[in-house]
Amino acid sequence: MNVNVIGAGLAGCEAAYQLAKRGIAVSLYECKPDVKSPAHKVGTFAELVCSNSLKSDDIAAAGGLLKAELRKMDSLLIAVADKVRVPAGSALAVDRTLFTNAVTQAVKELKNVKIINKTVDDWDENTPTVIATGPLTVGALSDAIIEKLGQTLHFYDAAAPIIAGDSIDYAAAFTGDRYGKGTGDYVNCPMTKEEYANFYEQLVNAERSPLHDFDTNEVFEGCMPVEIMAKRGFDTLRFGPLRPVGFSFNGTKPYAVVQLRKENAAGEMYNIVGFQTNLKFSEQKRVFGMIPALKNAEFLRYGVMHRNSFIDAPKVINRHFQVKKLPKTFIAGQLSGVEGYVESIASGLMCGINAAAVCSGKIMPEFPPTTIMGALAAYLERENVSFQPMNANFGILPPLENKTRDKAENKRLYAERSMKDLEKIYALI
């Protein structure tokens, strides 16, 4: 049986490799070099369009643990990255030219893979297919996805940071809703006038990340970055996301209140409400850390602002990245709702393994939710009224049974549990 893989980016190349090594014939469709998106500059595969860093390689970091999992599962792209890495401290960074060239060569040498250079406008839902066309999916294929999946592709301009619940200073915060209404799900971080003034001054002068050319044509009014909103006036935030009305803290009315909303039922992850941002990551940590309750905040996902097409994953796919209404269609990469280079590679690996199982008449393997890969897959499936893409972080993992007060030790325990549980799936496939 043949599997069509649409898109030779990070996810598509990894999916093609995982299929080919299992004896499945692959037709890999790639529009480059004839047609390029605004983000792409070269005609080779798996082009890194932003940073050349694949983030931390420390297994005690979520991104590092994910790479360890991928090495265990024989990821082609992580193996290539390891070969062309450049010095970057504890991070895995690559020579981007050597990386894209090496991936292209490796994929072209796969015996079971046929490269077809053409733009794909539609796909046959009766033929096993992995769609991995990335966050800039547009045109006829985008229209076909919308029609066949019965929903529009989502597009977000800016997203707020997510922090670890156990990094909040609860002595400087309180739970509850305005005027005592609601179920008290919010964590509220009050600020005095002086604290707010200092925060405001740093926020409006903080350094922002540069936008790509293909992002600058878009209007971000519907999801305005907090730093842009703040520049409209000193009190703009106090009449918006930081309005203090209906709150009291230690018997006094706060001057401003930053609200945190749960991102998961366990309360291990919190979204900073209204803090969509395009600040550089280091600036987010510095400036948002001026909020007293967030002075030691651990950022599980920094705020981002860019053009990004993605499906409403919980409504469309299951944890196998399989389209619920089209069981022979799989969606990989950032289009599926994962965020980041390595996360895209992981989704491609799982799609390849799962599509191979479907072709062979086997049961698709269940990646343990205690692994980063399994947790990402479970996150995409989990009911969510306002789905947003997610990257690797410990907050999406099930809580430890033997959690300690030592955060470093907890991360080691997460890693230990993950690699142990991964052995179970590795033995099956």
Q: Give the pLDDT of residue 184.
A: 75
**pLDDT tens sequence across 212-244:** 554 444 434 446 789 999 999 999 999 989 999
| % of the chain residues with pLDDT over 90 | 69
Domain boundary residue, one of 252, 271, 305? 305
CATH at residue 202: 2.40.30.260
Same domain, 150 and 189: no
Same domain, 116 and 190: no
Same domain, 216 and 351: no
Region 244-252 average pLDDT: 90
CATH at residue 125: 3.50.50.60
Same domain, 141 and 194: no
Return all residues near 253 (Cβ < 8 A) that are at least 6 apart: 244, 247
> What is the reported pTM?
0.78
**pLDDT tens sequence across 81-110:** 999 998 877 889 899 899 999 999 999 999
Which of 173-196 are b and which e, b meaning 16 or more Cβ less than 10 Å from the residue's Cβ?
bbebeeeeeeeeebbbbbbeeebb
Region 338-363 average pLDDT: 96
**pLDDT tens sequence across 111-121:** 999 999 999 99
Same domain, 18 and 126: yes
Same domain, 143 and 11: yes
Domain that holds residue 244: 159-305
Same domain, 131 and 256: no
Domain boundary residue, one of 272, 305, 338? 305
Same domain, 149 and 16: yes
Same domain, 119 and 224: no
Same domain, 143 and 179: no
Domain boundary residue, one of 261, 281, 305? 305
Same domain, 257 and 362: no
- Find how far residue 381's CA is from the centre of its chain: 14
User: How many domains does the chain contain in total?
Assistant: 2
Same domain, 138 and 273: no
Higher pLDDT, 269 or 132: 132
pLDDT at residue 263 greater than cutoff 80: no
Return all residues near 105 (Cβ < 8 A) that are at least 6 apart: none
